[in-house]
Amino acid sequence: MYNTGITDNPLLLPFDTPYGVPPFDLIRDHHYKPALEEAMAIHKKEIDDITKNPNPPDFSNTVEALDKSGRLLHEVSAIFYNLLYAESNENLDRISEDLSPLLARHQDYIALNTELFARVRSVWDHTDKRTLSEEQWELLDKTYKSFTRNGALLSPSDKEKIRAINEELALLSLKFGQNVLGDSNEYRLVIDDESDLAGLPQDVVTAAAGVAESEGLAGKWVFTLQNPSVMPFLHYAENRMLRRQIWHAMQNKGNNGNACDNNQLAVKIANLRLERAKLLGYDSHAHYVLEEQMASTPEKVMELLDKLWKPAVNKAKKEAEELSKMISDEGGEFPLAPYDWRYLAEKQKKQQYDLDENELRPYFSLQNAVHGIFICAEKLYGLSFVARPDLPVYHPEVTVYEVREAMGTVTGILYMDFHPRKGKRSGAWMTSYRQQSTENGRRIIPLISIVCNFSRPASDAPSLLTLDEVNTLFHEFGHALHGLLSDVRYKSLAGTSVPTDFVELPSQIMENWATEPEVLGLYAHHYQTGQPMPGSLTEKIDKAAKYGQGFASTEYLAASLLDMAYHTITQPLTQSASAFEEHTLQSRHLIPEIIPRYRTTYFNHIFAWGYSAGYYSYIWSEVLDSDAYEAFKEKGIFDTDTATAFRKNILERGGSADPMELYRRFRGQDPAIHPLLIKRGLSGE
């Protein structure tokens, strides 16, 4: 595989495993840094070989060679960073801090390499588009633009400025995410009076007792800021003061004036991104980012957000009035507060639709829900999933599957990691350990992973999911299908290597199947009796589907607007993060009973991950998925021809063509916004 001369580091040896999966059982923390340093050195030599090639630059010896380079670095860094998010510890945190500037410097060695860019530019200047396939042209186009967008045309002095900014941003973003995790891990709500548990579902109480016992607090109950703990508490706990306490802790992550405070980091990151954008010739960071997205400009993003904001807030105001009336009707003498909303909404939903989320959970065992996504994949795409407990994993809770085509061919490997742990970041995501590619006519299968934070099994029951968690599972599985079914030539165009406002289409469209009555009948069976969910419950789910969309849409859009505000600044921020956030939300007349889904100091998507000036992507993609799902509803949700068209034009193509063109090939038309407005119950607002 690689002639590194190192024989005792499993990361630098050929992976002697089925399908070349990572040998997690052999990898130790101390292996990462030397492996990544060696991988960077090998990649650097590969780049130098391209630049020193005596033959005139052409597509094969320059652009294709560049795409093929760095395989070892991609593989080792994928393992390291996936575990940094899913199974971190102090050692990995320290290693990441050491490696962050080294990797940023290495990336800039490529992006700002004058000789390498000269070869790429020569290919760009002298290639007739008609001589290349669509995918080859896309690779050339993206390769050339990646150089120009990263500063290849800058003066030597400005390149040095870019290098310094990139190194600092890498460290700051890493620290931001570590701080959010640190603050989340630090908080505990300890309850020792059983009466304070009133209203909470028994499985939530049992889980809290389990956490308490594991922390030496037997006989008490501990609630944390992990979603399976904090969200049920906000939804069901009758004790208003305790709801207020845990809500304040949740909305102040990274904002406590301690070592994990993110206020200054957020401002520094935003200002450095602006400085970099200006050096590269853009008005703002958003202009820089959006140039390569479907939206293309901040103006188009704001046009969409503005279309949705007013009807969402109007609906939220009506919902707030109804909840305030509920308080009054029950004899309450307090105004509706953010920590009341979820609790009262659950009560109202039960009153209006006779729907109690706790009635649903026995039918949504994790095992059943996984069975549900597998059934959908089989009926839509002919896939089957075969457990491979023999393959190495990084934690005993991780399960692994071979993903097979109808004819038995293995199309990919899927890892699934479902429960919260101290070293795992919050939320849910799909990632890869190896992107799909094609070498010498042979398809290299992808290694894909889903990571979530679902409730753990109780002593007397399996993991029982909320409806929201079921939707999350279907969502991440949609991302996984995008990675698993990729069938392109070049790894840099494979799977989810697409604009962020297109990448959510495969995930969000998959959510539609989760609550279809036909699909619920296939997987939503009671974990004790095995009986399918009764029709009366599926009808309630359908009738309540648009309930609370004012709240859900407003909290999401508020976060999207906050993201855009930070990244459309054209002058450096001089005010504090809290003041900037408050001004942004007040200018939009956000009602005080709702806060953004993510406040500044724990907005990992935009400050630690890859969604800066991109959080709008979920709603942009929802326009696509709502319109695309109409095609399935027109012919049947498991219509083979429609599923094949979606697979061939969307899931398999990755980033090998313009995303809107791919969408038109599937749908035969541009997407319409009306299906989204209907889906969210905003069409009449």
At 389-406, the pLDDT tens digits run 999 999 999 999 999 999
Q: What is the pLDDT of residue 455?
A: 87
Backbone φ and ψ of 110, nearest 5°: -85, -50
96-123 mean pLDDT = 96
Q: According to CATH, where is 1.20.1050.40 located in the chain?
A: 10-153
pLDDT above 80: residue 4: no
CA distance 320 to 340: 10
Q: Which residue has the higher pLDDT, 244 or 426?
A: 244
Architecture of the domain whose range is 10-153: Up-down Bundle (1.20)
Which pLDDT tens digit goes with each residue over 528-572? Answer: 999 999 999 999 999 999 999 999 999 999 999 999 999 999 999
Q: What share of the chain in percent tops pLDDT 90?
A: 94
| C-alpha R_g of the chain | 25
Q: What share of the chain in percent tops pLDDT 70?
A: 99
pLDDT above 60: residue 426: yes
User: Which residues carry out catalysis?
Assistant: 476
> Any residues with CB less than 8 A from the CB of 256 and at least 6 apart, and which?
183
Q: What is the pLDDT of residue 2?
A: 52
Q: What is the pLDDT of residue 685?
A: 67
What are the helix and strand counts (H, E) for the chain? 27, 9
Beta bridge partners of 573: none
Q: What is the pLDDT of residue 599?
A: 98
Q: Report the C-alpha dihedral over residues 461, 389, 71, 429, rounded to 10 degrees.
A: -10
For residue 357, how many C-alpha atoms fall within 13 Å in the half-sphere facing its CB? 25
Task: Work out whether strand 410-417 and strand 447-451 pair parallel, antiparallel, or are unpaired.
Answer: parallel
3-state secondary structure 238-254: CCHHHHHHHHHHHHCCC
CB 671 within 8 A of CB 624: yes
CA distance 458 to 204: 9
How far is the CA of 465 from the CAs of 337, 360, 362, 507, in angstroms? 27, 9, 8, 19
Q: How confident is the model at residue 18 (pLDDT cuts 50, 70, 90)?
A: very high
Q: Tokens 């405070």 identify what position?
A: 261
Choosing among 1.10.760.10, 1.10.1370.10, 1.10.579.10, 3.90.1150.10, the CATH entry for 263-355+549-615 is: 1.10.1370.10
Q: How confident is the model at residue 681 (pLDDT cuts 50, 70, 90)?
A: confident
Q: What is the pLDDT of residue 679?
A: 87
Buried b (16+ CB within 10 A) or exposed e, 362-376: bbbbbebbbbbbbeb
485-501 mean pLDDT = 97
Structure-block tokens of residue 343: 């609790």
CA distance 249 to 134: 51
pLDDT above 80: residue 624: yes
Q: Tokens 């969604």 identify what position?
A: 611
Backbone φ and ψ of 604, nearest 5°: -60, -35
- The DSSP-derived string for 258-272 is STT--HHHHHHHHHH
**Angle of the 549-567 helix axis to the 577-587 helix axis, nearest 10:** 130
CB 649 within 8 A of CB 664: no
The CATH fold assigned to 362-543+618-679 is Neurolysin; domain 3 (1.10.1370)
Q: How confident is the model at residue 682 (pLDDT cuts 50, 70, 90)?
A: confident
Count other Cβ atoms within 10 Å, centred on residue 252.
Answer: 16
pLDDT above 50: residue 345: yes
Q: Report the C-alpha dihedral over residues 628, 633, 634, 640, rounded to 10 degrees.
A: 80
Q: According to CATH, where is 1.10.1370.10 located in the chain?
A: 263-355+549-615
Count other Cβ atoms within 10 Å, centred on residue 412.
Answer: 26
Instruction: State the average pLDDT for the chain.
Output: 96
- What's the predicted TM-score (pTM) here? 0.93
Q: According to CATH, where is 1.10.1370.40 located in the chain?
A: 362-543+618-679
Q: What is the pLDDT of residue 6?
A: 59
pLDDT above 90: residue 357: no
How far is the CA of 539 from the CAs of 55, 356, 515, 517, in angstroms? 68, 13, 10, 8
Q: What is the pLDDT of residue 489?
A: 97
Which pLDDT tens digit goes with each residue over 444-487? Answer: 999 999 999 998 898 788 999 999 999 999 999 999 999 999 99
Q: How confident is the model at residue 1 (pLDDT cuts 50, 70, 90)?
A: very low
> Any residues with CB less than 8 A from the CB of 17 and at least 6 apart, and which?
23, 391, 392
pLDDT above 70: residue 623: yes
Q: Provide the 3-class DSSP secondary structure of residue 348.
A: helix
Q: Tokens 């999933």 identify what position?
A: 385
- The DSSP-derived string for 186-254 is H--EEE--GGGGTT--HHHHHHHHHHHHHTT-TTSEEE-SSHHHHHHHHHH---HHHHHHHHHHHHTTT
Q: How confident is the model at residue 148 (pLDDT cuts 50, 70, 90)?
A: very high
Structure-block tokens of residue 468: 């929201």
Task: Work out whether strand 429-434 and strand 221-223 pair parallel, antiparallel, or are unpaired.
Answer: unpaired
